[in-house]
Amino acid sequence: MTTLPPPGSGGTAGDPVQHTHAHREVAEGFGADADRYDRARPSYPAGLIDWIRAASPGRDVLDVGAGTGIVARLFQARGCTVLGVEPDPRMADAARSRGLEVEVAKIEDWDPAGRLFDAAVAGQAWHWVEPVGGAAALARALRPGGRAVLFWNVAQAEDQASAAFDEVSARVYADAPASPWRAPAGSLVDGYLRLCDKAAKGMAEAGGFGAPEKWQQAWDRPCTRDEWLDVVPTMGGMNRIPADILARLLDGFGGAVDALGGSFTMNYTTVAVAATRS
């Protein structure tokens, strides 16, 4: 669930996807409620983890932008040893409390200290990373044959719910951050595929990687009223709007889900790009 900055914001211009790493301050708010983030954010499909494990030469995994450990725990459950790198100390502490070893740093500045990994993964995080510097860091941390795999969940509520959430947003706060209910599903997926292209270009410029591969899977998840109201505040940029307006948005969203019978279906597409350390 990424908030892509609008063209021209923050001194940038052109395709906003190309400038997400210039808006890293949005990510710095997630740690304010790390437990909610861990509880509310969706996981990833088993097929993605299978694809990464099958192509990796071993079980040592580096989790970039580890957050609270949502991705790391999926790999730990498959018998992997995982080290997280996370720039927010609050998120790192939350991950440690859940059994993950974490070092606090931005990946562009992180020193692997001679350690080598079989896979370096980043779930819902690489758009905050400067793509060339980040890719160079992964190249230093991966052993030959190791895989860098960067992936995102793209979320879009079913049509009736999306329209209801859009109406609430327009009525309560027309300037709310861009979110899954504000754009057609196809354009959202296209935006994330451009993030994959941006990441692949960064790896090519950094050097040390083979040709990129892409992976994609659609999946659905039922979402109750309480689950939806729990996840909305964790979306990028929501922590930057006034608390009274957020409360009104949540009240309106709750009423919209009640009108739909108390739940709706969230449609996800998980997209990934991978490259092998040469």
Cβ atoms within 10 Å of 127's Cβ, excluding its own: 27
Question: Which domains, ranges and CATH numbers included, belong to the chain?
Answer: 9-157+183-222+269-276 (3.40.50.150)
104, 86 Cβ separation under 8 angstroms? yes
pLDDT of 10 above 70: no
Find the helix or strand (DSSP H, E) in which 193 lies.
Answer: helix 185-206
Q: How far is CA 166 from CA 85, 205, 235, 264, in A?
A: 36, 39, 15, 15
Q: How confident is the model at residue 64 (pLDDT cuts 50, 70, 90)?
A: very high
pLDDT of 8 above 90: no
pLDDT of 7 above 60: no
Share of the chain above pLDDT 90, in %: 79
Give burial (CB, 10 Å; 0-12/13-18/19+) of 125: buried
CA separation for the pair 125, 213 (Å, rounded): 18
271, 190 Cβ separation under 8 angstroms? no
φ/ψ of residue 65, rounded to 5: 65, 50
Provide the whole-model pTM: 0.89
pLDDT, one tens digit per residue, over 136-149 is: 999 999 999 999 99
Share of the chain above pLDDT 70, in %: 86
DSSP assignment, residue 209?
Answer: B
Lookup result for tokens 């079980």: 59
Per-residue model confidence (pLDDT) at position 6: 38
Q: Give the residue among 124, 131, 256 at the shortest CA–CA distance from 192.
A: 124
Give me the chain's average pLDDT, please.
90
Residue 158 three-state SS? coil
pLDDT, one tens digit per residue, over 225-278 is: 999 999 999 988 787 889 999 999 999 999 999 999 999 999 999 999 999 999
